């Protein structure tokens, strides 16, 4: 039975069981890469989202994301660079995540993100956020590209989820679909995490 897109009324143990079953059944690759420490500390893929999902829901990653802050010409160039290196247009075909809710809250309501099925991540152990207002404001197109190639490009890598989560830096998640679980609903969150820890 397909889970309804979002819950609005009271949340029961039955609702939590349904959520846990969906995550356990559909997100095995992701859960298999996590450690108990990450689940206990909620150091998991997290994203600030402005979406009409009250507690839990399923989303599809857009393949034509446009930048909110970065100039379009830089966005397209960097996107092509990632595609050449990793086979993924990391700026337009991913969802941006971090490993903590505080950073995620800068972009909207914090949700834990559970990729469904196969997924990849791209991240840097040096770059907190690829978009830097000061650089874009004061540098022209060529200067920004040269800076990226010289100081940032070599730090990006693919995979190694636990290492990426430890950095608290931006993580670009590539998959087809994912579940979102609202962090601010402490009852549902704690029950779901408890069930995942004891699965």
Query: How high is the pLDDT of residue 3?
Result: 43
Query: How high is the pLDDT of residue 11?
Result: 60
pLDDT in tens, the chain (199 residues): 344 444 434 566 678 999 999 999 999 999 999 999 999 999 999 999 887 667 899 999 988 777 777 788 888 999 999 999 999 999 999 999 999 888 888 888 999 999 999 999 999 999 998 876 556 667 788 988 998 898 899 999 999 999 999 998 999 999 999 999 999 988 899 999 999 988 7
Q: What is the pTM of this model?
A: 0.88
Secondary structure of the chain as H, E, C letters: CCCCCCCCCCCCHHHHHHHHHHHHHHCHHHHHHCCHHHHHHCCCCEEEECCCCCCEEEEECCCCCCCCCCCHHHHHHHHHHHHHHHCCCCCCCCEEEECCHHHHCCCCEEEEEEECCCCEEEEECCCCCCCCHHHHHHCCHHHHHHHHHHHHHHHEEECCHHHHHHHCCCEEEECCEEEEEECCCHHHHHHHHHHHHCC
Query: How high is the pLDDT of residue 2?
Result: 45
């Amino acid at each position: 039975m397909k889970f309804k897109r979002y819950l609005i009324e009271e949340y029961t143990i039955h609702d939590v069981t349904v959520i846990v079953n969906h995550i356990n059944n559909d997100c095995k690759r992701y859960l298999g890469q996590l450690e108990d420490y990450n689940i206990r500390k909620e150091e998991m893929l997290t994203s600030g989202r402005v979406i009409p999902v009250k507690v839990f829901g399923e989303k599809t990653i857009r393949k034509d994301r446009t930048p909110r802050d970065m100039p379009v010409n830089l966005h397209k160039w960097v996107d092509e660079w990632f595609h050449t290196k990793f086979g993924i247009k990391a700026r337009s075909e991913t969802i941006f995540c971090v490993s903590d809710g505080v950073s995620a809250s800068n972009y909207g309501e914090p949700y834990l993100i559970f990729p469904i099925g196969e997924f990849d991540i791209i991240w840097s152990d040096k770059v907190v956020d690829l978009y830097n207002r000061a650089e874009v404001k004061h540098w022209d197109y060529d200067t920004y590209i040269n800076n990226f190639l010289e100081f940032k490009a070599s730090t990006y890598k693919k995979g190694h989820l636990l290492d990426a989560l430890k950095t608290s830096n931006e993580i670009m998640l590539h998959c087809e679909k994912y579940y979102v679980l609202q962090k601010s609903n402490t009852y549902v969150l704690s029950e779901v995490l408890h069930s995942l820890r004891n699965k």
